[in-house]
Structure 1
Amino acid sequence: MLRKLLIGTAAVVAALWATNTSLFGPTLEAGKTRLLSHRGVHQTFSAEDLENDTCTAERILPPTHDYIENTIPSMRAAFEHGAAVVELDVHLTPDGAFAVFHDWTLDCRTDGTGVTEETPMSRLKELDIGHGYTADGGRTFPLRGKGIGMIPALDEVFRAFPGRQFLINFKSQRADEGQALADLLNKNPEWRKATFGVYGGEIPTRESLRLVPGLRGYDKTSIISCLSRYLALGWSGFVPAPCRNTLVIVPLNYAWMLWGWPHRFIERMKAAGSEVILMGPYQGGDFTAGIDHAGQLALVPDNFDGYVWTNRIEVIGPLLNPHGNSPGQTRVGR
């Protein structure tokens, strides 16, 4: 009886291994690793004791460039460094524009004051978004005067980068913001193609997904629902509903737990209409940690057929494609 039990157990283990190993899975095409640039090329800052209302412009590291996040020059630089997708943040203003700007209020980065979504686009265009950046506790402001008039509207971004793709981050919990974006995309098919996906505030994210056919996106609740259900059921190859037709976020430090990681997992997600985005290590905060240095990039599987989220596109882009290959071309080392 014991012998039969051991044989049966071994058979189950072998079947699970055979179902989920990438050794015998479909052969993935080399060179498909794509980069998703968070905020474009931007100023980096200390993440120590970071909270939701921390003014990150007041804690930047000594600048090595003049790029400011969420601006057209920073996005252009990100694409030039190899980004396939650029992430940007939006706020629906009283005059019906989507302002591309990170912060909920203007006081931290700009020479203005007030709530971003309550400020007309015409006023936002007058501000200096480099005003508040300092690396030495306010003794010097190296970007002051260099960001005047540089808050773009979302339609400006789309017009500036035909054929490029963007991941749109809703900063609010307003349903009308999701409806307004849906209106914009449904009326402009080229801008719909330019929208890789949406995420952020659960209410506008889900509203835009409801109103725009085929649009993919996620929020924190949907990420957890997808990954937890897949951990429970993925051993069989089954892809649960929260992982279908969406963007599947995978933290680097938890990827090994996913059944079939990496190639079987990715093939299952693709067959279910989803794309996989590999993030940096999740440490209990939000899902925006990136693959930001060579040591982390070395942990990305070879021939990874998905997207790699990075906060340092100017570092990771050249490491991933040292010979300047365009996104989707052959990957040449790390």
Structure 2
Amino acid sequence: MTERGTGSAASDSAPSDKRPGRGRRWRRRLAIALAVVLLATAALYVGNSSTLAGRPPGGPFLLAHRGLAQTFDLAGVTNDTCTAERIHPPEHPYLENTLASMRAAFAAGADLVEFDVQVTRDGRLAVFHDATLQCRTDGTGTVGEHTLAELRGLDLGYGYTSDGGRTFPFRGKGVGLLPTVEEVLAEFPDRELLIHLKVERAAEGEALADLLATLPQQRRDTLTVYGGDVAVGAFAARLPDVRVTSKKIMKDCMVAYLAVGWTGHVPDACRHRQLHLPQRYGRLMWGWPNRFVSRMREADTRVIVVNGSGEFSEGFDDADDVDAIPAGWTGGVWTNRIDVVAPLLGR
């Protein structure tokens, strides 16, 4: 009984003798794990912090959407809204997508002007935004249902009103103002242009590619094309040297970059592109804002920040909007009021 009791006491005390050692080893392992996590977190922060990188030289470049155009109230806008019927009281005489509006935009300080393209019934590349003609003009139907000559006869300012239809300040002033892509290229031979394929068909992209293929490489380097996935895909298949973007291209880039961008690496999906990023999505990117822009620039990709959610071409159009641009931003800024924003940014 004594031996049995002594053995039992010895066995009861043995585990308690070992527990302090196991506890110390567990605490050391936990401390090492926490140190590794802290070091990794610090490395991620240092490697992706724009604050620590300092303010890069230069300032933002400005993209004038549709040239210098009439703006409108975005409240309640849908894809079917006729925006010409809800413009703000006019503060300048220009109509979107005309040569005059593009000249005014460049004169006001734009680095890059965006315009919209559709193919006419006779195969010409006309500069016009809407899916149908009846909102903005005195015509009906689509661009694709008319010849270029017929479109030239329309009054591009016919439907604009800021007071519910009591007055039409641009009626009669837009006849003959609709340009072609060839005319825009000839008017601005050395300026940066963003060309928007408005119709989501492969034929639209192929037609634009056929035209731009006739230009020297140096000129094509100043052009960017964007639009729907199908149209842009068809364009890029024929003319891969021109910078392009679409929703799919931007999504593929962002997903790939979120996976590996913490290392500073820019994946192939993000190379030789243009990204139109609302700030709400940009903030998710490793190195946002300025390290991200610098990394993309090294990959021959331009980043243009868009206001709001990115729907309906929201731009940075007034002083409050400009205050929301990231500090030290050297990427692009999308605006519908280049005449207002350029002076605010020191142009």
Q: Same fold (TM over 0.5)?
A: yes
Q: Displacement, 1:46?
A: 1.1
Please say if 1:11 is aligned against 2:39. Answer: yes
Q: Among the aligned pairs, what percent are the same residue?
A: 47
State the alpha-carbon separation in 1 of the partners of residues 262 and 111 from structure 2: 31
Classify 1:190/1:315 alpha carbon distance in 2 versus 1 (closer, same or farther; 3 Å): farther
Please say if 1:243 is aligned against 2:243. Answer: no
Q: 2:117 aligns with which of 90, 109, 118?
A: 90
Q: CA RMSD in A?
A: 1.9
Decide which moves more: 207-216 or 126-135: 207-216
Partner of 2:100: 73
Q: Secondary structure at the match of 1:232?
A: helix
Q: Displacement, 1:194?
A: 6.8
State the alpha-carbon separation in 1 of the partners of residues 162 and 55 from structure 2: 48
Please say if 1:234 is aligned against 2:234. Answer: no
Cα deviations by residue, 1:198-254 (Å, 9 ceiling, x for unpaired): 111221211112212421111112222222332232112222332121012221233
State the alpha-carbon separation in 2 of the partners of residues 255 and 306 from structure 1: 12
Partner of 2:140: 113
Q: Secondary structure at the match of 2:150?
A: helix
Cα deviations by residue, 1:86-115 (Å, 9 ceiling, x for unpaired): 100000112221110111111111111111
Q: Is the 2:53–2:291 Cα contact (8 Å) retained in structure 1?
A: yes
TM-score using structure 2 length: 0.87
Q: Displacement, 1:300?
A: 2.4
Please say if 1:262 is aligned against 2:275. Answer: no
Q: Is the 1:275–1:306 Cα contact (8 Å) retained in structure 2?
A: yes
State the alpha-carbon separation in 2 of the partners of residues 234 and 267 from structure 1: 12
Decide which moves more: 215-224 or 295-304: 295-304
Q: Between Structure 1 and Structure 2, which shows a larger proportion of helix residues?
A: 2
Structure 2 spans left out of the alignment, 5+ residues? 1-28
Q: Is the 1:185–1:191 Cα contact (8 Å) retained in structure 2?
A: no
**Count of matched residue pairs:** 319
Please say if 1:57 is aligned against 2:79. Answer: no
Q: 1:308 aligns with which of 333, 336, 340?
A: 333
Q: Is the 2:260–2:266 Cα contact (8 Å) retained in structure 1?
A: yes
Please say if 1:22 is aligned against 2:56. Answer: no
Cα deviations by residue, 1:5-51 (Å, 9 ceiling, x for unpaired): 221111111111121122454873223x1100111111111111111
Q: Is the 2:264–2:295 Cα contact (8 Å) retained in structure 1?
A: yes
Partner of 1:299: 324
* Superposition pairs of residues 1-334 of structure 1, within 5 angstroms: 1-25=29-53, 28-31=56-59, 33-189=60-216, 192-193=219-220, 195-282=222-309, 285=311, 288-321=313-346, 324=347
Point out which structure has higher relative CO (alpha carbons under 8 A, 6+ apart). 1
Decide which moves more: 165-174 or 228-237: 228-237
Match of 1:80, as an amino acid? A
Q: Secondary structure at the match of 2:256?
A: helix
Q: Is the 2:121–2:143 Cα contact (8 Å) retained in structure 1?
A: no
Q: Displacement, 1:263?
A: 2.2
Match of 2:315, as an amino acid? G
Q: Displacement, 1:188?
A: 1.9
Q: Secondary structure at the match of 1:83?
A: coil
Q: Displacement, 1:298?
A: 2.1
Q: Displacement, 1:69?
A: 0.3
Q: Is the 2:190–2:219 Cα contact (8 Å) retained in structure 1?
A: no
State the alpha-carbon separation in 1 of the partners of residues 344 and 144 from structure 2: 38
Partner of 1:328: none
Partner of 2:9: none
Q: Is the 1:133–1:142 Cα contact (8 Å) retained in structure 2?
A: yes
Show structure 1 runs of 4+ deviating over 6 A: none
Larger radius of gyration: 2
Classify 1:142/1:27 alpha carbon distance in 2 versus 1 (closer, same or farther; 3 Å): closer
Match of 1:246, as an amino acid? R
TM-score using structure 1 length: 0.90
Q: Secondary structure at the match of 2:129?
A: coil
Cα deviations by residue, 1:292-316 (Å, 9 ceiling, x for unpaired): 2222222323442221111111111
Q: Is the 1:244–1:274 Cα contact (8 Å) retained in structure 2?
A: yes
Partner of 1:330: none
Structure 1 spans left out of the alignment, 5+ residues? 325-334
State the alpha-carbon separation in 2 of the partners of residues 263 and 148 from structure 1: 45
Q: Displacement, 1:195?
A: 4.7
Partner of 1:327: none
State the alpha-carbon separation in 2 of the partners of residues 243 and 289 from structure 1: 24
